[in-house]
Structure 1
């Protein structure tokens, strides 16, 4: 996440979705008739999404464009009989709903990044009796949000040294890589993802790292028993005065030719 209020395009979001390879999904579209302006990828298992975008045309939306991106967190899982899907949370957020009014005990731990044209905030829930929802407004500059929360500093973090090391390696490699190239200004009228995102696109596409490298942003890891965990898609969003630009690619992608523009304007349908 990059926030620069004085820039031509103040807010940029990069989201890499990691999931088990066998979980079925559909690419971004208007998949929810009850929420016609919401655009996002569809989880075909639970019916929700990991990232939703709204240009602000739903009657219930709170004003202008908004996006919401979900990350699984660590902590105390919800009790099985009462558990609800976290995939409904991005849809709630982009229609202006309030996460703090939910019965959060029914949700597994999560971090929800809510993005606006003037900034972004992270809502973090660690689960468990007596748990609390923590809200953090992201500062100006470059921020990294992990499954351990913003900058890996959530109240509830993983107990696995291996997972902690992998997340730390990702952040340590990619933060200076993004800072070393000019910050892009992805205007809605740019013809291609390469034109829009410039020097960021090769980095977003994996930066040449092997899929099983410790620092891999676009990854694939085998856990045995046929279980494969990896990156299934990459989303790039830019919020500016002219609106929202959304580029999407199935992972792994080749920089420049693996992304498509997601249409956000026009009549829902």
Structure 2
């Protein structure tokens, strides 16, 4: 149940903020954000070692970022299926994915943010839809923008978990002072009142509303949150902070990702 929150405030010093929580089977190996693609040396993202792509890509030159969430619906044909982890890399380099043949990809939602706004591209049932995000706070789930994608989960339990997470944390972020991340200071100073909320807000990992979660599916299979990304995007600035999930008690778990 990956989740992305996007805050857009055009008059702010930093107009666009993106919070992305990656949920995955915890046995799936990955590497933290870096320049992992020699053929695209300027791009930065975490590396999925299973398929070679990423769940979030950043192009510092264009000041754009894209994060990927799995969707629901019929999968792509097995004989032609491609990894969705390539899509964020394409989106930040080419300004989107609308020009691609998407039939080899399983359903997904792709959030693309830039200095002046953001949009969501959703693919499922052979149809691509794109929506610009409004001013204010938006949430993107595996059920799409605000949970209203045309192709959604058929599981009442999964739907309830996504709704609980979205409702609680939308209210928490909206009630806290909006950060204005800037400069080279530590993550705690940059993200202010949002950081304790992003770090889990004190909820147990198995709470229905948990932003940072763990689920035991049996047979040694654990599903949960593996990392958290915080992006601040403006016309003259770009900041990327990254942390593990769950955030360890004590010490400085967060790091600012170098974008030079």
TM-score normalised over the length of structure 1: 0.92
Aligned position for 1:236: 230
What secondary structure is seen at the aligned counterpart in 1 of 2:28? Answer: coil
- Unmatched runs of 5 consecutive residues or more in structure 1: 57-63
Which of residues 6, 13, 21 is equivalent to 2:11?
A: 6
Residue-pair matches, total:
254
TM-fit CA distance, 1:55: 1.1
Once the two structures are overlaid, the 10-residue window that deviates more, 218-227 or 42-51, is: 218-227
- Cα root mean square deviation, aligned: 1.2
Aligned position for 2:161: 166
- Counterparts of 1:249 and 1:181, CA distance in 2: 20
- Counterparts of 1:172 and 1:55, CA distance in 2: 32
What secondary structure is seen at the aligned counterpart in 2 of 1:196? Answer: helix
Aligned position for 2:3: none
What secondary structure is seen at the aligned counterpart in 1 of 2:73? Answer: coil
Q: Does 1:151 align with 2:149?
A: no
TM-fit CA distance, 1:190: 3.9
- The runs of at least 4 consecutive aligned structure 1 residues that moved more than 6 Å come to none
Which of residues 7, 15, 19 is equivalent to 2:20?
A: 15
Contact 1:205 1:254 (8 Å CA) reproduced: no
- Unmatched runs of 5 consecutive residues or more in structure 2: 1-5
Which of residues 175, 183, 193 is equivalent to 1:180?
A: 175
- Counterparts of 1:243 and 1:137, CA distance in 2: 21
Which of residues 220, 223, 226 is equivalent to 2:217?
A: 223
Which of residues 28, 32, 47 is equivalent to 2:37?
A: 32
Q: CA offsets, 1:167-188, max 9 Å, x none?
A: 000011111111111000001x
Q: CA offsets, 1:53-103, max 9 Å, x none?
A: 0112xxxxxxx3110000000011011111000000000011115422222
Aligned position for 2:78: 80
TM-fit CA distance, 1:203: 0.1
- Counterparts of 1:21 and 1:250, CA distance in 2: 12
TM-score normalised over the length of structure 2: 0.95
- Counterparts of 1:198 and 1:100, CA distance in 2: 36
Aligned position for 2:135: 140
Contact 2:96 2:112 (8 Å CA) reproduced: no
Q: CA offsets, 1:237-266, max 9 Å, x none?
A: 00123321000001111588211000001x
